[in-house]
Structure 1
Amino acid sequence: MMMKWAVELGQFDLEYMPRTAIKGQALADFLLEFDSEVDDKALMVLHPSYPKEVSEELPHPWWILHVDGAVNNGEAGAVIVLVSPEGHHMMSAIHFKFYTTNNDAEYQALINGLKISLEIGVRNLIAKSDSELVVNQVNGGFQARGPRTKLYLRYTQRLIGRFKEVCLECIPQEKNNNVNVLAKMGSQQEAVLLGSIPLEIQEIPSIP
């Protein structure tokens, strides 16, 4: 049988050419075969350096931030509780080594909570505070009075602008009671009562 084929094909000038790029050729054949049958939007090839617009459209999970500031016997502190989309709690207490009012302590708590959230890459955030004044000033419902309050407000709004989306809510104090107790402990540097919650010392305010 092989001899018969050799005789039959001997009259033709045939030359064997190896296929060196079979994967590329197979892809080309596939595209040619299905080009007219498949919608051109059905296939999208992503490259590692594909533009950011693609990743920007992907949904980002929502984190929840609880903050509270407190002034106790002339000393001030704050506590931050950041809850991940999976329900994990990250807690931090801060003791302020500078003079601050109750409203300033609330602003400091919110500012530090926003900073921590940005540092770990949070994009969508629901922030909760029991300070009606701070929440309404940031949301535009109340007007900020006094130069120091205006500085706190502008700085807070700049931080919020770095997120994809932020929802700032005011909650009743009784629903924020645990956070409020920890904030008072932080104002007194009660590390024993705080237990495993890290206590940080802030020497100067966040605003000039």
Structure 2
Amino acid sequence: MGNYFMHADNGLKMIPESEIDTSLNNFLVNCESSCESSVIESEGASTSQQEILDFDTVSIGSPDDVWTLEFDDSYSSTESGAGIVLISPKGNLFLFSFKLQFNNTNNTTEYESLLLGMKVAQQKGIKNLHAQGDAELIVCQIRNIYQTRSEKLRHYRNLVWDLIETFDAFDISVVSCEFNDRADSLAVSATSLIPHKDFLGSTYVVELVFRPGVPDSIAHTKHS
């Protein structure tokens, strides 16, 4: 599979992997064979670009430092996407965007967004994570406040619970939509592969994800 670059003026085009800048290629999240990669770029300042391109080499700091994960989804009957913002203890922003190339519901897309963000943090070696999103149902299911009646959503909840065990400390909370607009903008951008106006002047990777976190054929039995 190839990689795609998107520029705000020139649209989407295929570029051979050998021509992709090494520093950018090293940044792409490893999704085995389930993902292709795109880069959305728009003209303007380079601050966000520097943050993103340096994520692979940025130090996580003290093991006791707490990172923040903002997650959100964009869902319609034909398209779905996930937006992730990781915030370092120093306040630096790192942007991630995923276009989901499989059938979803609004709730499974929210779970996918959270799982993708947790996996990015886990792969980086972040040990203390505070996650926040505007999906009250999902957050309260994970906190075991709400019952999870859907079998499919139980599989997603259980997978989140399993991932939580890989962190030293983890918390998740509900925030209102207006405080989750960055992740929402990234999710919307992923579904359309068009740079969002909120991130003009930024460059960030869009992963095309072809396999769901919880395939229909997989049942998790660790948790009841």
The answer to whether the superposition gives a TM-score over 0.5 is yes
Question: Do structure 1's residue 112 and structure 2's residue 116 form an aligned pair?
Answer: yes
Q: Which runs of 5+ in 1 are unaligned?
A: 1-57
The answer as to whether partners of 1:72 and 1:187 remain within 8 angstroms in 2 is: no
Partner in structure 1 of residue 20 of structure 2: none
Partner in structure 2 of residue 100 of structure 1: 104
Match of 1:167 among 154, 159, 171: 171
Task: Report the Cα offset of residue 191 of structure 1.
Answer: 4.9
Across the aligned residues of Structure 1 and Structure 2, the Cα RMSD in angstroms comes to 1.7
Separation in structure 1 between the aligned mates of residue 81 and residue 186 of structure 2, nearest angstrom: 9
Partner in structure 2 of residue 199 of structure 1: 206
Question: Do structure 1's residue 126 and structure 2's residue 130 form an aligned pair?
Answer: yes
Write 1 or 2 for the structure with the bigger share of strand: 2
Match of 1:81 among 73, 78, 85: 85
Q: 1:200 corresponds to which letter in structure 2?
A: E
Identical amino acids, percent of aligned pairs: 29
The answer as to whether partners of 1:118 and 1:163 remain within 8 angstroms in 2 is: yes
Match of 1:135 among 121, 134, 139: 139
Separation in structure 1 between the aligned mates of residue 174 and residue 116 of structure 2, nearest angstrom: 17
Secondary structure, aligned partner of 1:152? helix
Write 1 or 2 for the structure with the bigger share of helix: 1
Separation in structure 1 between the aligned mates of residue 177 and residue 67 of structure 2, nearest angstrom: 21
Separation in structure 1 between the aligned mates of residue 166 and residue 205 of structure 2, nearest angstrom: 26
1:100 to 1:85, Cα distance in 2 relative to 1, 3 A: same
Bigger relative CO (Cα 8 Å, ≥ 6 apart): 2
Paired positions, count: 151
Aligned 1:1-208 pairs, distance under 5 A: 60-72=64-76, 74-191=78-195, 195-208=202-215
Separation in structure 2 between the aligned mates of residue 150 and residue 113 of structure 1, nearest angstrom: 19
For residues 35-56 of structure 1, give each alpha carbon's deviation from its aligned partner in whole angstroms, at most 9, with x where no partner exists: xxxxxxxxxxxxxxxxxxxxxx
Q: Flag the structure with larger Rg.
A: 1
1:191 to 1:203, Cα distance in 2 relative to 1, 3 A: farther
Q: Which runs of 5+ in 2 are unaligned?
A: 1-61, 216-224
For residues 133-161 of structure 1, give each alpha carbon's deviation from its aligned partner in whole angstroms, at most 9, with x where no partner exists: 00000001111122211110100110011
Q: TM-score, normalised by structure 2?
A: 0.64
1:65 to 1:88, Cα distance in 2 relative to 1, 3 A: same
Structure 1 outlier segments of 4+, above 3 Å = 191-195
The answer as to whether partners of 2:85 and 2:182 remain within 8 angstroms in 1 is: no
For residues 39-74 of structure 1, give each alpha carbon's deviation from its aligned partner in whole angstroms, at most 9, with x where no partner exists: xxxxxxxxxxxxxxxxxxx86100010000110352
Separation in structure 1 between the aligned mates of residue 177 and residue 74 of structure 2, nearest angstrom: 12
Q: TM-score, normalised by structure 1?
A: 0.69
